[in-house]
Structure 1
Amino acid sequence: MLLIYISILTAFVLWTIINSLFMPRLSNRSIQGDENGRVSILIPLRDEERNVGALLQSLKKLTYQNIEFLLLDDHSSDKTLNLLYEGTKNDPRFTIIRGKDLPEGWTGKVYACHQLSEHAKGQYLLFNDADLRLSPNAVQAALLLMNKREASMITGFPAFPVSLFLEKLLVPLQHFVVHFHLPLAPANRTNLPSFTAAHGAFIMVHKDSYKYVGGHEGIRETLLDDIDLAKAFKKKGQRVILANITNVVTCYMYQTNREVWNGFTKNLFPGLGRSRFLIWILFIFYGIFYVGPLILLLTGLYAAITGSLIVALFYPYVLIVLQKAWIDIRTNQRVTLSLLMPLSAVAFMTLLIHSMRTGLRQKGYVWKGRTYS
């Protein structure tokens, strides 16, 4: 039985390595030129005073010349708007927009992105979150891959520097889930909506294609704007590429453990189609294959202390660490975090149940001061 278990975990490692080869990587080398046309970088902000300074500094360092920056303040209650005006004065590339009141039937970020798109003059739209930091050549790198693959949309999961305890356990799992659970060949080489992943912090689209698929207006009620926008592109026959963008894009997602908890709570159950069946399948799967190795490891350590070393009991833990380490290396994450994989699985399993219970009890998911059902 243990041999079968080890064989399955070995297969998981091999699958992850092979699957990851079908995710193209944005180049971090210096790329010159702006022959691709005007790019509009669109950023919604709501109570983002902690991010404004670093965000503007990052944007001003971009080397792409034919560019405009549109920043929308979505009814912030802090100093976000004042900091935007102060940080962009005398720079004609920046336009500050004051967001309109949220209409019924829209979610906040989706409506903010929709407003931004209506003001954009570029041939390409790059939707960014306020907690994102771009390397100077990020725009050229995205356009290069977009044109090379003849894609209408490029998206990807950024590099995630983590310092909080829950961050370390949960945030890097985003890369793990994509590299392990999503078959990347059909995701990047077909228009099948069922093979789709996206990250809303970084989405570049061709403006004409964006309008053709209905833009954010067509997904106005969703909490999963990134995935649903990507699916809208695919349903209209537009090519979507999920890329490894960790060389050129960094995201500082959360400032507190509570934000980590609320953020994942908001996304997990809706992201799984509100399917209780999928929740329980994942709960059992991670319990068996990613918490189980920790139990075997502790059993092996106890056996070694009592004088009966059973080496095979250590193999499952080594294999899940290797699987996670491979992904961490490819996504510029600290490899030492792979040692915490069993604890990450426990945190993930706990949040699966919490997100489901929150959704089923119709309490609503709270985010950025708004509550969504």
Structure 2
Amino acid sequence: MTVLAILALALALLPAALALANLLALRKSRPGLPAPDGLVSILIPARNEAGNIGPTLAAALASTGIPIEVIVADDHSTDGTAAIVAQAAAGDPRLRLIPVPPLPPGWTGKNHACHVLAEEATGRHLLFIDADVRLAPDGAASLVAAAEAAGAALVSGVPRQVTGSVGERLTVPMINFLLLGYLPIPLMRRLRDPALGAACGQLVLVQADAYRRVGGHAAIRGSLHDGVRLPRVFRRAGLTTDLVAASDLATCRMYADFAQAWAGFSKNAHEGLATPRALPVWTLLLGGGHVLPLLLVLAALLGAGSLPLAGAALAVSLVTRAAITLFTREDPWTIPLHPLTVALALALQWNALLRPARAGVATWKGRSYQAG
């Protein structure tokens, strides 16, 4: 038990050190505002988003500090999405609605819609946002400022994640925890290694010329995980990508309950952690550093093992999670749930990896894709 407690403490200290370095780096590089020079195309792929698209459009059109155009691609919606956008476009010439052609073989829906949007865009920068993302008034301008300050062809950040149900609070916080606890952002900024590339697909700003030069979404046409794949395309071309603190720049409520969250995170698991080579390593890192400490504390309270060591490991894990949660302005009531959140994330990834081949077909927005 003592050996396990030492291991748990070491595995908890790793993300604690990385999180400290990352939060300091992000705090020092908070986006400012540029001079209002150069059009930004805000591009929104939308498929059956009638419940989201109205507030998203209102927020995008309220952007300040830089000239914008807003283009929505209606991807064969069967609800009122197109009608809502058309009505809004009738009152604002900066907004356009375009239809998405039938999905070609080998493409995933979002990548195809983003590709179609980019072909219609006229801006110097292209800002891709999901249909459930609400930009802050200075969100677009701040992202352009960050890109120019860093000399980056792609800049992304995680919007402040809004969670309403217990199921969301048990799953969604892993996005920021994995990025800020395990990606060395200062090293990412110094090196252009594609493996260090990362983005959040909810909010991605790119230089239009660079995007078209590297192939854009066409280069990742079959991917379900644009947040991982797109920045690596840029980095392989020798371009710089960056991450910024985006909790003040946009908000997003991804899912409505646990079932939606499980399905949503499962669809791209094979392009993230759920690979035969990666998942055992992540199980050691995440399980050992954030689930094992709680189990060891419970065991020590029952008379088995060292309570000081186990308690220290659990405290480091929870303090790390608390620092990330407060920095990203997520729900602080999720902090005590952290060991369960990590355990559920690992269960989801193992389920995605081990489920039968037929079950490996991911269904999303009414379309089916072969996972992995």
Tell me, yes or no, whether TM beats 0.5.
yes
> Is 2:330 the counterpart of 1:330?
no
2:260 counterpart SS class: helix
Q: SS where residue 23 of structure 1 aligns? A: helix
For residue 275 of structure 1, what is the aligned residue in structure 2? 275
Q: Distance in 2 between matches of 1:140 and 1:105?
A: 35
Q: Distance in 2 between matches of 1:231 and 1:224?
A: 11
Map of 2:159 onto structure 1? 158
Which amino acid letter does the alignment assign opposite residue 155 of structure 1?
A: S
The question of whether the paired residues in 2 share the 8 Å contact of 1:179 and 1:327 is answered with yes
1:371 maps to 2:371: no
CA distance 1:92–1:196, shift in 2 (3 Å): same
Normalising by structure 1, what TM-score?
0.91
Which residue of structure 2 lines up, in the alignment, with residue 198 of structure 1? 199
Q: Is the contact between residue 287 and residue 342 of structure 2 (CA under 8 Å) also seen in structure 1?
A: yes
Query: Which residue of the partner structure matches residue 4 of structure 1?
Result: 6
SS at match of 1:205: strand
Contact 2:46 2:77 in 1 (8 A): yes
Alignment partner of 1:222 is 2:223: yes
State the alpha-carbon separation in 2 of the partners of residues 126 and 26 from structure 1: 20
* Deviations, residues 330-353 of structure 1 (Å, cap 9, x unaligned): 111123312111101110111011
Is the 2:30–2:244 Cα contact (8 Å) retained in structure 1? no
Opposite residue 314 of structure 1, the aligned amino acid is G
Structure 1: gaps spanning 5 or more residues: none
Q: Distance in 2 between matches of 1:296 and 1:323?
A: 18
In 1, the alpha carbon distance for the partners of 2:29 and 2:259 equals 32
CA RMSD of aligned residues (A): 2.3
8 Å CA contact retained: 1:25, 1:245: no
Judge conservation of contact 2:123–2:208 (CA < 8 Å) in 1: yes
The 5 Å alignment of 1:124-273 reads: 124-272=125-273
- Residues 1:12 and 1:221: Cα distance change in structure 2 (over 3 Å): closer
- Find the aligned partners of 1:330 and 1:44 in 2 and give their Cα distance: 29
Identity of aligned residues (%): 31
Report what 1:343 is aligned to: 340
Residue 25 of structure 1: how far off its partner (Å): 6.8
Cα distance in 2, alignment partners of residues 11 and 181 from structure 1: 8
Q: Distance in 2 between matches of 1:225 and 1:28?
A: 23
Of stretches 159-168 and 320-329 in structure 1, the one that deviates more from structure 2 is: 159-168
Change (3 A) 1:199 1:359: farther
SS in 1 for 2:92: coil
- Provide the rounded CA distance (Å) in 1 between the counterparts of 2:184 and 2:127: 25
| Structure 2: unaligned runs, 5 residues or longer | none
For the residues of structure 1 that align with 2:174 and 2:29, how far apart are their CA atoms?
21
| Distance of 1:290 and 1:215 partners within structure 2 | 37
* Deviating more after overlay: 112-121 vs 261-270: 261-270
**How far off is 1:236 after superposition?**
0.8
Answer yes or no: is the 8 Å Cα contact 1:42–1:126 preserved in 2.
yes
Match of 2:26, SS state, is coil
Distance 1:129 1:265 in 2: 18
Of 352, 355, 370, the match for 1:355: 352
The answer to whether the 8 A contact 1:26-1:142 is kept is: no
Secondary structure in 1 matching 2:294: helix
**Cα gap change, 1:10 to 1:223, in 2 (>3 Å):** closer
Specify the alignment match of 1:71 in structure 2.
72
Matches within 5 A, 1:15-164: 15-23=18-26, 27=30, 31=33, 33-35=35-37, 37-164=38-165
In the alignment of these two chains, the number of paired residues is 367
**C-alpha distance in 2, partners of 1:24/1:212?**
32
Task: With a CA cutoff of 8 Å and minimum separation of 6, indicate the structure with the bigger relative contact order.
Answer: 2
- For the residue of structure 2 that corresponds to 1:127, the secondary structure is strand
